[in-house]
Structure 1
Amino acid sequence: MKHRTTVETTQETPPQTALSSAALNSALNLSGGAASPSMPPARPRSVSSFISCTCLTAFLLRSVIRLYPHILPPLRASTVSPSVYFLYASSVLAFLYSESYKGFHLKFNQTYLTRSQRLPNLYKLPLLNILYSGGWVSSSKKRKITSWGITFGVAVLIAVSKRLSPLWRGVLDVGVVAGLSGAVVSLWMLWLGSVVKNETVGKGAEGY
C-alpha cells in the first residue's frame, strides 16, 4: 500500500509542476518580462512612430505659434525695468524644468514613444495614432488620468493667460512657449536615440 501511494503521488506531481510553470510565465508576461498579448511587439524604426511624433510636434507647435505674439509687447515698451527681464527669465527656467524636463522628458514623451512603437494596426490613421500614442484611448486608468490631466492643464494655462494684463500674460506665455518647445526637442532626441539603438526608451512602459 505504501508503494502504491508513493507511485500515485509521483504520477500527480508533473501536472502540478506544469501548472506552476504556466502561472510563472504568465506572471512574467504581465510584469514586463516579455511582451504580453495586449502589447504588440516594439518597432522603433516604424513609419507609424515617426508619424506619431510628427503629429504631436504639430500639435505642440500650434500652441507655441498662438502664444508667441503675446510675449513681445511688454519687451517693446519704451521703458522696460530689469525686473521684467528677471520675471521672463524665471518663467522660462521654471517651465523648462517642470514642464519640459519633469513632465515631458521623464514621463509623457517616454510613454508616448513606447506606445507609438507598439501601435496596433487599428490605430494607424493620424488622428487615432496620436490618441493611442498619447494614452488618451486604449490605455491603463493611470495613463488616461495622466494624459487627460496634461491636456487639461495646458488648456487651463492658455485660458488663464487670456485674462491677465499684458505684462503677466507675457511672463506666463514665455514660460509655456519655452516648456512646449523643450518638449518637442526632448521628443525628437528620444525618438532619434531609439532609432539609432533600435530599441525602446528606458522607462516608457511604465503606466502603459
Structure 2
Amino acid sequence: MHPANLGAAGLWGTVGVIVVLLQAIVRLTPLALDVASRSLSPLQWTVLVVWVAFNGYSEGWRGFHRNFSPRVVARAQVLDAHPRALHVALAPLYCMGLIHATRRRLVTSWLLLVGIVGIVVAVRQLDQPWRGIVDAGVVVGLAIGLVSLVYYFARGIAGAVMPVPPDTP
C-alpha cells in the first residue's frame, strides 16, 4: 500500500484503540502494584519474574509490536483511503480487525477477544498475590503494546508504510 498520512478516521480509530489499552493498564496497575506490598515466597517471586518476562516478550513484543500495533495503523491508513460511514463510526473496531477484515483476520481477532475475556473472568477469581502476579505480567505486556502502538501511530502520521498487511477484504 502506498504510504498515506493518517486523516480524521484513522486518527479516531487509532486513538480509540490507544484509549482501550490505556484504560486496561490504569485498571490493572493498582492490582499489580499491590503485589509489591506483600511478602512473597521464593516461588511467588520466581513466578512473578518469569511471568513478567514472558508477557513482556510474548504479549508485548511478539503480539503487539510485531503484529497488532502496526496492523492497527495499517488498517487506519486503509480506512482513511476508503472511508465508509459505518466503518468510520466504528473505527476502533475496524482498526482492531473486528469488522471488515479477511475471514482469517476476523476469526483470529474475535477468537482472541473471546479468549481474553475468558481469561479476565478466570483471573478475577484468583486471590492475591496470584492475581497481582498475573496482572503484573499483563500490565507489562499492555504497556509495551501501548508504547508500540504510539510508535507506529507516529510513523503512520508521517505516512510510513506499515510492516504488516492490513488484512482487509
TM-score, structure 2 as length reference: 0.85
Q: Which runs of 5+ in 2 are unaligned?
A: none
**Residues in 2 aligned to 1:167 and 1:51: alpha-carbon distance in whole angstroms:** 38
Q: Does 1:194 align with 2:149?
A: no
Q: Is the 8 A contact 1:113 1:204 kept in 2?
A: no
The match for 2:48 among 83, 88, 96 is 88
**Residues in 1 aligned to 2:99 and 2:6: alpha-carbon distance in whole angstroms:** 23
**Residues in 2 aligned to 1:102 and 1:165: alpha-carbon distance in whole angstroms:** 29
Aligned residues: 164
Supply the AA of the counterpart residue of 2:50.
Answer: S
Q: Which residue of 2 aligns with 1:6?
A: none
What is the 5 A alignment of 1:28-43?
43=4
The structure that has the greater radius of gyration is 1
Give 1:97 shift: 0.9
Give 1:82 shift: 4.4
The match for 1:55 among 3, 13, 16 is 16
Q: Which residue of 2 aligns with 1:66?
A: 27
**Residues in 1 aligned to 2:40 and 2:68: alpha-carbon distance in whole angstroms:** 37
Identity within the alignment, %: 26
Q: Is the 8 A contact 1:135 1:144 kept in 2?
A: yes
Q: Which residue of 1 aligns with 2:57?
A: 97
Give 1:204 shift: 2.8
The structure showing larger relative contact order (alpha-carbon pairs under 8 Å, at least 6 residues apart) is 2
Give 1:83 shift: 4.1
Structure 1 residues 109 and 204 mapped into 2: Cα distance closer, same or farther (>3 Å)?
farther
**How far does the alpha carbon of each residue in 1:104-142 deviate from its partner, in whole angstroms, 9 at most, with x for none?**
2211222221111111132222xx111111111111110
Q: Is the 8 A contact 1:42 1:118 kept in 2?
A: no
What is the 5 A alignment of 1:109-124?
109-119=69-79, 120-122=83-85, 123-124=87-88
Q: Is the 8 A contact 2:73 2:153 kept in 1?
A: yes
**Residues in 1 aligned to 2:29 and 2:100: alpha-carbon distance in whole angstroms:** 34
Q: Which residue of 1 aligns with 2:117?
A: 155
Give the SS at the match of 2:165: coil
Q: Is the 8 A contact 1:42 1:114 kept in 2?
A: no
Give 1:147 shift: 1.1
Give 1:167 shift: 1.4
**Residues in 1 aligned to 2:8 and 2:131: alpha-carbon distance in whole angstroms:** 39
Q: Which residue of 1 aligns with 2:68?
A: 108
Q: Is the 8 A contact 1:44 1:200 kept in 2?
A: no
**Residues in 2 aligned to 1:204 and 1:143: alpha-carbon distance in whole angstroms:** 11
Give 1:152 shift: 1.7
Give 1:42 shift: 5.7
**Residues in 2 aligned to 1:157 and 1:65: alpha-carbon distance in whole angstroms:** 18
Give the SS at the match of 1:199: coil
Q: Which residue of 1 aligns with 2:137?
A: 175
Across the aligned residues of Structure 1 and Structure 2, the Cα RMSD in angstroms comes to 2.0
